[in-house]
Structures are given as structure tokens and as C-alpha cells.
């Protein structure tokens, strides 16, 4: 039963990611290079806060949103709009997961 729950959660997560790609690329016509960075940074931040610090779900969900919004604001401010946006988004996507890992792995362990 645990395996089935894991598979269903993964199916739902990838469905959400596919739907957001469809909204961005299909309907909006926006080529998103750093989309997975936003998705993964929020999930990673929430996961680290829940496992290492033992914080409950509502706060970790909000913290994941704040981290994702912060990274999006940073990439959007640096890249701007137009032809420079993909030029900035690709290296940002490559390095953002490393930055989030360094920040959240340095948190003290409470368990």
C-alpha cells in the first residue's frame, strides 16, 4: 500500500508540473528554462524544513512558496524581459538548486 501511495503522489506531482508547462508554453507562448528550478526549490525547501526542523505542513508549504517567489523575483529582476531572459534563466536554473542546498543543509539538526 505504501508503494501505491508513492506512485500516486508522483503521478499527481508530475501532472501538476505538466499542467504548468502547458499553461506557460502552450497558452502563454513563454519558453521556460528555469521552470523546474522554481518547482524543485520550493519542494526542496519545504522538505528540508519538515524533515530537519520538524516544522508542520502549513508553515513548510508557505516557506516553499516564499523561497520559490524569492528565486523567481531574483531571476526575473536580473534577466528582465526579452532576449536576455533565457540567457539568464539557464545558468540560474543550473545554480539555484546548489544555492538552496547550501542554505538549507547548513541549518542545525534538531532531531
Per-residue pLDDT of the chain (111 residues; tens, 9 = 90+): 889 998 998 898 889 888 888 887 888 777 777 777 787 888 888 888 888 888 888 999 899 889 888 888 887 787 666 666 667 777 777 776 677 677 767 766 665
- Return the pLDDT at 83: 67
- What is d(CA 3, CA 61) in angstroms, rounded to the nearest whole number? 24
Q: So where are the chain's domains? A: 1-30, 33-111
Indicate yes or no: pTM above 0.75.
no
Amino acid at each position: 500500500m505504501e508503494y501505491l501511495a508513492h506512485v500516486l503522489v508522483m503521478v499527481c506531482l508530475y501532472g501538476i508540473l505538466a499542467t504548468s508547462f502547458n499553461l506557460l508554453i502552450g497558452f502563454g507562448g513563454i519558453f521556460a528554462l528555469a521552470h523546474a528550478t522554481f518547482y524543485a526549490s520550493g519542494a526542496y525547501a519545504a522538505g528540508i524544513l519538515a524533515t530537519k526542523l520538524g516544522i508542520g505542513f502549513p508553515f513548510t508549504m508557505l516557506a516553499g512558496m516564499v523561497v520559490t517567489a524569492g528565486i523567481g523575483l531574483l531571476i526575473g529582476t536580473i534577466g528582465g524581459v526579452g532576449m536576455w531572459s533565457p540567457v539568464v534563466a539557464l545558468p540560474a536554473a543550473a545554480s539555484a538548486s546548489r544555492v538552496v542546498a547550501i542554505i538549507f543543509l547548513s541549518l542545525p539538526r534538531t532531531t
